[in-house]
Amino acid sequence: MKKLGIFPLLFLLAGCTNSTVLNPKSTTGKEQAFLIWFGLGIMLFVLVIVFFLLARVVINYREKKNGLEEYRPKFISPKKQRKLELIWTIGPIVLLIILAIPTVSTGLKQSPVAEAESTMDGVHIDVTAKQFEWTFIYETDKEKHNILLLPEGEPIILHLSSMDVIHSFWVPELAGKVDLVPGKPIVYRIENPEIGVYKGKCAEYCGVQHANMTFTVKVVAKEEFEEYIAK
Amino acid sequence: MNWSEITVHIPFFGESIFLTIDVFIAWILLIVLVIGAIVYAFRKRKFPVIRDYLYTTNHRKVGTLYMIFGFIFFLRAGLDALFIRLQLALPNNNFMDFQLEKYNETFTSHGTMMIFFAAMPMLIGLMNIAVPLQIGAKDLAFPFLNAVSLWLFVAGGVMFGSAYFLNSSPAIGWTGYAPYSTAVYTPGAATNFYVFGVQISGLGTIFAALNMIVTIVRHRAPGMKLIRMPLFPWASLVTSFLIVIAFTVLAIALYLLMFDRLFGTSFFGGEEGDPVYWQHLFWFFGHPEVYVLALPAFGLFSDIISSFSKKPIFGYPAMVISLALIGFLGFMVWAHHMFTVGLGPMVNTFFAVTTMTIAIPTGIKVFNWIFTMHGGSLKTTTPMLFAIGFIPSFVMGGVTGVMLAVSAADFQLHDTHFVVAHFHYVILASTILGIFAGLYYWYPKITGYQLNETLGKWHFWLFLIGYHMTFLPMHLTGMQGLPRRVYTYGSDEGMTALNFTSTIGASLMGVSIVILVWNIWQTNRQGILVGDDPWDGRTLEWSVASPSPEDTFTPMPFIECTDPFWDAKTKGQKLKTAPNPRPAPIDEHTVLPFLMALAVLVIGFGLIYQSYLTAGIGGVAIFALFIIRSFRDEHTSFHKEGARHE
Ligand code: HEM
Ligand SMILES: [Cu+2]
Ligand SMILES: [Cu+2]
């Protein structure tokens, strides 16, 4: 059992360098990556304790070769048992409260909201999806398929809706996903994107070509963006 | 070669069916297998046995059939998994024609079959076999209904499974999200197979759960208070309540979808409808379903760990309370599957926090298992190995669950291979390892033989290594941006090695299953009887003969403590007997349950192809069967053939 413990660490080292989610290029993405690391940290702590206890117990209490004659089950006294049970009830509660604090604060801030409830400042872009194409409409009514330009450093307010089935807008480097639900426009906000070219994907299964419903996101300097949408 | 262009053309129900080449090969294999099985049965004169099982309502035999059919569907869904992994082994891969629609059909069949037709039935099979024996009941409360449940499950499974052979596999994912699953986007028979296959077997599951509840509440041996009951029956009881609540909601959702698809309503689509309603209904079923899969395994591992540590379970009251708490909290977390659909910050936060709380009772269970072993004398038999392997594996799935509960982190991880890794970790560790453990543990009670321990250990180690190799890398591919339900990825995304590792792991699991099948085959051929109590067990099932006879517990034992059999053994006494026990349910020899399910199958096929005449014929048939049934009375036949039972 013990050997299994080092596996995840090895894999993690190998994987993080390629990870898009853990190398985010926007404030929104960074907050999310922090939450993933934070959760992972607390959880690795729990894992280590469980693995350690289990390994010890399994090694120490394997059936002895000299058989059952010698065997007397060792019992923990009721008092100690109550204490132990309290420890592993309260311990996790404490850990979960620690995890719940950033969960609540970031969750409240970042959760996508229904269109009607939103009054936000920033660069507004309409994102419309249909099988299997993305359409992006800017404030100047400029319309473009499958390519999205964003200005660097601005808050981006996406107004997402679908013309047919449910899709999901996902640019792993920039932020988590938001669904595009027919008849229910949703607003999602990405803070502070950094210059670069990123791959966007549809992340909600939407039909035959779902895997190929990708798009390209280019984050450019503000002037370039203004020029682009004016054209 | 372009696989999808080679087709065979066959007319069916007024539609014509194109068989792609893989379906054609599957047909030939199926025919060869069926003929082979018939020839084998004929040569070995097995027809009386088959007839006996077709007519049986005995809990052990019904349970065995649950296991057998569940295992067949497990093999089928496992093959799907291998095809999925072969297609994903390399970037831009083209494995046969498993791309695009075929890939979508494959993961849909894989998920749906694994959950509804493999994992659940095998668990219900184990409950059928073990629960009555552990609580001192002669049979389930309603043996006839039990057989109806079984055959309804088989009907649903066969119906869903046949979709592939008719080249109309559903491709809507096991979650069947609207509006994609409505007739606007997926018209025709394929999606109907999902709707009716799951609906029919779900009905059987609800019956099974009701049966289990009444059995456990009404038919415990005298003296066995609920607080003296072993943990597997406890888990079965809680699970059955979850099933009754969750599966009725699933049934409602599927009926509404049926109306949308066949009768032109628009609950989940169109102007008036709302696709998010489907998600609410589905996940109000779907999350408790996870616990329906996990809790019986928890119960079973509790019994196994206690048996092979030679100690009573540590903190029995806490174990029972945590089972109930998990079941209860399981209904308050469903929207954690919907963080990204825009329910709003308050809703997301509420469900993030409720989800985290489930970790507390689950943690209690884990530590109690470890401390059950503490101070004991651990005998590492195959069932115990599965139990020890279960603990760290399950905890690894549990901790990623907590990570996913963090709503803003879930925006990134949702619908990626990270989630695929998470739920396979949880389900395989609990349910599948649990089923294997239960199979090895209770095999003597089912057949009288004990599965070979050496092969069992090979099975265990290969499966465990394969399992971690398959799913550990998926956490990383998910965080590198691999969404679930996609058939391809680019060579520039740096996830080739990880995906390839996954595929190798999957094939290791495949090999381990071959070993299991070989083990079962060999064990049954050698047929070495091992006696009533091969594991030196603690609970009542080990006090009856192996395989368990149709008339157990005569005389009826009287229970004064938990682990009564162990208690009696250590004191060198026999179990005390109860002077005048309650009359027990009576098993019957009848083919009616099988015929009823057959009629339901006909109705299902009629509705799938919208041939209402066919459905009507099935309806008349079932009505006729009800009438026949109401003229019969098992008590009469019991008194006539009294000799068989006494
Ligand atoms: C035995 C080895 C198994 C392997 C190698 C395997 C592999 C996979 C893979 C790779 C996927 C993701 C497909 C995709 O999203 O593109 C998947 C999906 C899934 N698997 Fe498994 N799996 C296995 C066993 C199981 C078991 C035992 C269960 C449940 C009892 C299960 C339930 C599911 C479900 C529900 C899905 C989701 C299907 C969907 O997206 O609609 N799998 N499996
Ligand atoms: Cu899509
Ligand atoms: Cu859930």
Structural domains of chain A sorted by starting position, each given as residue range(s) with its CATH number in brackets: 2-110 (1.10.287), 114-230 (2.60.40.420)
Model confidence at A194, pLDDT cuts 50, 70, 90, reads very high
- B40 plus B114 within the same structural domain: no
Kindly state the helix (H) or strand (E) to which residue B73 belongs, with its residue range: helix B59-88
- B167 plus B29 within the same structural domain: no
Q: How many residues does chain A have?
A: 231
Nearest partner of B364 among B289, B302, B432, judged by Cα: B302
Query: Ligand 1 in contact with B110 (CB < 6 A)?
Result: yes
Model confidence at B644, pLDDT cuts 50, 70, 90, reads very low
CATH of the domain at B272: 1.20.210.10
- B7 plus B88 within the same structural domain: no
B226-261 per-position pLDDT tens digit? 999 999 999 999 999 999 999 999 999 999 999 999
- B383 plus B480 within the same structural domain: yes
What residues contact B2, with CB distance under 8 A and at least 6 apart? B97
Instruction: State residue A197 phi and psi, 5-degree precision.
Output: -115, 125
Q: Which residues pair with B11 in a beta bridge?
A: B16
- B30 plus B70 within the same structural domain: no
First to last CA, chain A: 62
**CB-based contact, A119 to chain B, within 8 Å:** no
- B85 plus B11 within the same structural domain: no
Apex B509 CA angle, B506 and B513, nearest 5:
140
A3 vs B646: which has the higher pLDDT: A3
Q: Which residue of B has its CA nearest to A75?
A: B375
CA distance A128 to A43: 38
How large is the average pLDDT for residues B26-53? 91
Preferred mutation among B88, B340, B358, B404 to probe A, highest tally of A CBs within 10 A: B340
What integer pLDDT is reported at residue A14 of this predicted model? 52
Q: Answer whether B365's CB lies under 8 Å from B418's CB.
A: no
Q: Answer whether B7's CB lies under 8 Å from B82's CB.
A: no
The residue contributing the CA closest to ligand 1 atom 33 is B111
CB-nearest to B342 from A1, A165, A181 is: A181
Retrieve residue A194's tokens: 């950094």
What integer pLDDT is reported at residue B553 of this predicted model? 85
DSSP string, B324-361: HHHHHHGGG-GGGG-GGG---HHHHHHHHHHHHHTHHH
Kindly report the nearest CA distance between residue A38 and chain B, in angstroms: 9
- B31 plus B165 within the same structural domain: no
What integer pLDDT is reported at residue B10 of this predicted model? 67
What separation in Å is there between the alpha carbon of B540 and the centre of ligand 1? 37
Given the CA of residue B78, which atom of ligand 1 is nearest to it?
1
- B26 plus B82 within the same structural domain: no
Model confidence at A1, pLDDT cuts 50, 70, 90, reads very low
What residues contact A144, with CB distance under 8 A and at least 6 apart? A135, A136
Q: Answer whether A201's CB lies under 8 Å from A173's CB.
A: no
The residue contributing the CA closest to ligand 1 atom 36 is B111
How large is the average pLDDT for residues B94-117? 91
Kindly report the nearest CA distance between residue B592 and chain A, in angstroms: 42
Q: Which residue of B has its CA nearest to A187?
A: B342
What separation in Å is there between the alpha carbon of B168 and the centre of ligand 3? 29
Kindly report the nearest CA distance between residue B541 and chain A, in angstroms: 23
Q: Tell me, rounded to whole angstroms, the distance of Cα B457 from its chain centroid.
A: 23
What separation in Å is there between the alpha carbon of B336 and the centre of ligand 3? 6
CA distance B424 to B432: 10
Indicate whether B508 pLDDT > 60: yes
Indicate whether B288 pLDDT > 90: yes
- A11 interaction partners in chain B (CB closer than 8 Å): 472-473, 475-476, 498
The residue contributing the CA closest to ligand 1 atom 8 is B81
How large is the average pLDDT for residues B101-124? 95
- B40 plus B164 within the same structural domain: no
What integer pLDDT is reported at residue B271 of this predicted model? 83
Q: Which of B12-16, B399-403, B457-461, B617-621 has the lowest mean pLDDT?
A: B12-16
Query: Ligand 1 in contact with B79 (CB < 6 A)?
Result: no
Q: What range defines the domain where residue B521 resides?
A: 46-645
Kindly report the nearest CA distance between residue B265 and chain A, in angstroms: 17
Q: How many residues does chain B have?
A: 646
Model confidence at B119, pLDDT cuts 50, 70, 90, reads very high
**At residue B201, what is the residue type?**
S
- B360 plus B418 within the same structural domain: yes
B631 vs B485: which has the higher pLDDT: B485
- B39 plus B52 within the same structural domain: no
- What ipTM did this prediction achieve? 0.92
- B35 plus B55 within the same structural domain: no
What integer pLDDT is reported at residue B458 of this predicted model? 96
Summary mean pLDDT of chain B = 91
Nearest partner of B450 among B506, B517, B524, B559, judged by Cα: B524
The answer to whether the CB atoms of B415 and A168 lie below 8 A apart is yes
A62-75 per-position pLDDT tens digit? 887 655 556 677 78
Could you tell me the pTM of the whole model? Answer: 0.93
Instruction: State residue A228 phi and psi, 5-degree precision.
Output: -65, -45
Q: Which of A20-24, B146-150, B249-253, B264-268 has the lowest mean pLDDT?
A: A20-24
B403 vs A71: which has the higher pLDDT: B403
What residues contact A109, with CB distance under 8 A and at least 6 apart? B345
What integer pLDDT is reported at residue B4 of this predicted model? 56
Instruction: Please state whether the peptide bond connecting residue A132 to the residue before it is cis, i.e. omega within 30 degrees of 0.
Output: yes
What integer pLDDT is reported at residue B439 of this predicted model? 96
What separation in Å is there between the alpha carbon of B90 and the centre of ligand 3? 30
What separation in Å is there between the alpha carbon of B75 and the centre of ligand 1? 13
Task: Provide the domain count of chain B.
Answer: 2
- B185 interaction partners in chain A (CB closer than 8 Å): 164-165, 207
**H helices within B89-188, ranges in order?**
100-112, 120-135, 143-165
What integer pLDDT is reported at residue B506 of this predicted model? 96
Nearest partner of A215 among A172, A186, A162, judged by Cα: A172
CA distance B8 to B465: 41
Query: Ligand 1 in contact with B602 (CB < 6 A)?
Result: no
Q: Left if phi > 0, otherwise alpha if psi is -120 to 50, otherwise beta: which for B449?
A: beta
Query: Ligand 1 in contact with B564 (CB < 6 A)?
Result: no
The answer to whether the CB atoms of B370 and A15 lie below 8 A apart is no
CB-nearest to A71 from B314, B377, B495 is: B377
- A181 interaction partners in chain B (CB closer than 8 Å): 275-276, 341-342
